[in-house]
Structure 1
Amino acid sequence: MSFDKGLINHWDEYYKKDNIPSFPSPFAKYVGNKLSAKQTILEIGCGNGRDSKFFASQGHQVIGLDRSGRAIELCKKLYSYKSLEFFSGTIADVAKINKKKFDLIYSRFVFHAMSLSEEIEILKTSYRLLNKDGQFFIECRSINDPLSDKGEILSETERIDGHYRRFIILEEFKQRLIQAGFKITKTIESNGLAKFEEEDPIVIRISAIKA
């Protein structure tokens, strides 16, 4: 079984569970509060669609993207908005079939679940898919998150603890965004931003625009 296939299977199984939160994440609320005019939004790694649904409920035109076919099946059953579509595949697939560009790309808890080479390609494609001055909002687990001390160590940043994670080093990630063409407008690295039940991870939030 390939690495990618194994990771997709992990998330397919995860989205069969009944205890997945359906309310919008704190990060979605944070981003939503910054938006006024109607936006065209792409969410990379939409999972069960809760944040995509939140943005659509605010009046935005949204595409939720996830590589887990099970997650997308769940989204299509749960939500019915004219302004909300769900797509199973990669951002490269979206680039092939979607001729319009986006005002905003949003991604929460996804970049630490992919390899470095995949991240670099997604940053490049995201840049191409954004309109001029389009916004990019990212939240991911920091290398300073205590969870990075757990599991099998694959490299300085990569771990296997139930499934694969590549914890993000803020300064290095900023440089890769800049290399992809983005201008960074704000960064935060802290706990207290993504609390869920008993967990309070140290996460990175980055806001950037297509320069």
Structure 2
Amino acid sequence: MLKNFSNYWETKHRDAEYFHEELSPLVKEEIINLNLSASSCVLDHGCGQGRVSFFIAKFTNHIYLNDISSTAIKKTLATFKSEFSNINPVAFTGMLYEANFKKQFDLIISHRVLHCMTKEERIKTYKFYYDSLKKGGKILLSVKSINCKKYDQICTSKNYHLDNTEKGSFFSSNPFRFLQFFDIDLIANELHIQNLLITKHFEFFEKSGNKKSITSNLGNLYLFCLVAKK
């Protein structure tokens, strides 16, 4: 992941005021529709402080965690220990494609992660997805949508444009200026490189995770994709 993003998220997760909103009801519904069993093995890629994993814990005890922030991993494991004592997740801090979980997964969830990566990092991640997914397994991913008009309006109002041309001081040191925004063709073409196929997609709004965030009250538009091996 871009070095600035690694530093950014480590700082964010150390902030006591940083929090995660509830998952979008649409995302929850898609997870429920996958009919996970108690034996299902699930990987939460970019787990943050665990909001996806805590929802997954309703269905299975076999949870694997990954994040670039050691603070996020520590906080998530601490919450599991205090609130889900019957679950002992396996965790890896760093880039997912460097992990050696030695496990095949029924479900890999990548919620609001891939748009923070370079294309080279995403391609390596897709290969990890393919190699680590069981036959018949699914990938549930969400990325920032190119149709995110509210975010565009905010940036434009601050003399900042999404084409990475910075005209003002806003975001001058913020790694979000490097974000990749996706449409369905772009993400489909990238996944195709590693023989992954989108079987369902839609867009949904979800709020940011910081009370101080400029987009926290508006929410951002994300592209949801359900993915399988070809």
When the two structures are superposed, what TM-score results if normalisation uses the length of structure 2? Answer: 0.78
Q: Which residue of 2 aligns with 1:169?
A: 183
Q: Which has the larger radius of gyration?
A: 2
- Identity of matched residues, %: 24
Q: Which residue of 1 aligns with 2:212?
A: none
Q: How far apart, in 2, do the equivalents of 1:70 and 1:107 lie?
A: 19
1:206 and 2:225 aligned: yes
Q: How far apart, in 1, do the equivalents of 2:118 and 2:218 lie?
A: 24
Q: Retained in 2: the 8 A contact 1:75–1:86? A: no
Q: How far apart, in 2, do the equivalents of 1:172 and 1:6 lie?
A: 24
| Structure with more of its chain in strand, by fraction | 1
Deviation at 1:139, TM superposition (A): 0.9
Q: How far apart, in 2, do the equivalents of 1:22 and 1:6 lie?
A: 21
Q: Which residue of 2 aligns with 1:182?
A: 196
1:57 and 2:58 aligned: yes
Q: 2:10 aligns with which of 9, 12, 16?
A: 12
Q: Structure 1 regions of 5+ residues with no counterpart?
A: none
Deviation at 1:6, TM superposition (A): 2.3
The one of the two structures with greater contact order (alpha-carbon pairs below 8 A, sep at least 6) is 2
Q: How far apart, in 1, do the equivalents of 2:184 and 2:197 lie?
A: 15
Deviation at 1:83, TM superposition (A): 4.5
1:89 and 2:94 aligned: yes
Q: How far apart, in 2, do the equivalents of 1:69 and 1:208 lie?
A: 28
Deviation at 1:22, TM superposition (A): 5.2
**What SS does structure 1 have at the residue aligned with 2:57?**
helix
Amino acid at match of 2:53: S
Q: Which residue of 2 aligns with 1:35?
A: 34
**What SS does structure 2 have at the residue aligned with 1:166?**
coil
When the two structures are superposed, what TM-score results if normalisation uses the length of structure 1? Answer: 0.84
Q: How far apart, in 2, do the equivalents of 1:31 and 1:41 lie?
A: 14
Amino acid at match of 1:204: L
Task: Using the TM superposition, name which of 82-91 and 172-181 deviates more.
Answer: 82-91
Deviation at 1:17, TM superposition (A): 2.1
Deviation at 1:92, TM superposition (A): 1.9
Q: Retained in 1: the 8 A contact 2:199–2:227? A: yes
Deviation at 1:79, TM superposition (A): 1.7
Change in Cα spacing, 1:23 to 1:35, as seen in structure 2 (3 Å) is farther
1:194 and 2:206 aligned: yes
1:127 and 2:139 aligned: no
Q: How far apart, in 1, do the equivalents of 2:137 and 2:80 lie?
A: 26
For the aligned residues, what is the CA RMSD?
2.3
Q: How far apart, in 1, do the equivalents of 2:91 and 2:51 lie?
A: 12
Total equivalences in the alignment: 201
Deviation at 1:73, TM superposition (A): 1.7
Q: Structure 2 regions of 5+ residues with no counterpart?
A: 209-215
Deviation at 1:200, TM superposition (A): 2.8
Q: Retained in 2: the 8 A contact 1:104–1:135? A: yes
**What SS does structure 2 have at the residue aligned with 1:79?**
helix
Amino acid at match of 2:108: I
Q: Retained in 2: the 8 A contact 1:16–1:70? A: yes
